[in-house]
Amino acid sequence: MLATRAISLVGKRAISTSICVRGGHGVAKVDDYALPAYFDRRENPLPDVQFVTELSAEQKSLKEKEKGSWATLSNEEKIALYRISFKQSFAEMNEGTKEWKSVIAGMFFFIGMTGLVVLWQRKFVYGPVPPTFESEWKEKEVQRMLDMRINPVEGFSAKWDYENKEWKK
C-alpha cells in the first residue's frame, strides 16, 4: 500500500526501475509492458502518461515556469510544453496516409496481369471456335430463321421487311 502511494507521487515512468515490496516476502519487478503506455487516439485525448518521460534541464525549468502565469509563456514555450506531454497533435494523428495510391496501383497491376494471362490462354490454350460462328454460316442461319418466321409478331421476324427483303427501318 505504501509502495503504491509512493509510486503515484513519483508519477512518471521512472517507476519502471523501482520495485514493489509485497508483504516482506520478496520483490516483484514491474515490467515495462505492464505499465500504462502512451498512445495518440482521438477518443482518448489525455493518455495515461506523458510522452516525454525524462526531461532535460531546459524542459524541467519550463515545467517550473508553467506553475506561474501562462500568459507569460511565449508561443514556442507553449508548444514545447505540449510536445512534452503529447507526441502528435490532433491534426498530425488524423492525417491520412497515401496508402490508397498503392492500393489502386496494385489493383490495376493485377487486372493487367490477368489480362495478359487471358490473352495468352486465347492463343495457346483454347482451340478454334465452332464453325457456327463463321459469318457465312450465320447468314444462312438468319435466313433459315426468317423462313421459319421466328417470333413474327413482336420479335425477330417482325423486324424483317419481307417485301423489300431488308431489315425494317
User: Interface residues with another protein (CB under 8 A)?
Assistant: 11, 42-48, 66-67, 69-73, 75, 78-79, 81-82, 84-86, 89-92, 94-95
Q: How far is the CB of 29 from another protein (least distance, A)?
A: 24
**Residue 44, amino acid:** N
Question: In the complex, what is the shortest distance from the CB of residue 47 to another protein, in angstroms, rounded to a whole number?
Answer: 8
Q: Quick one: 5 or 123, whose CB is closer to another protein?
A: 5
Minimum gap (Å) between residue 54 Cβ and another protein: 17
Tell me, what DSSP letter sits at residue 44? B
Q: Which is nearer to another protein, 29 or 60 (CB)?
A: 60
Phi, psi values for residue 29, rounded to 5°: -75, 135
- Which residue, 59 or 157, is less far from another protein as judged by CB? 59
The C-alpha angle 5, 9, 11, rounded to 5 degrees, equals: 115
Min dist CB 20 to another protein, Å, is 19
The grid coordinates listed for 80 are 514545447
92-100: list long-range contacts, CB under 8 Å, 24+ apart: 93/40, 93/41, 93/42, 94/42
| Cβ nearer to another protein, comparing 67 with 168 | 67
Q: Give the residue among 98, 100, 108, 66 at the shortest CA–CA distance from 84.
A: 66
Partners of 28 in the β-ladder: 20
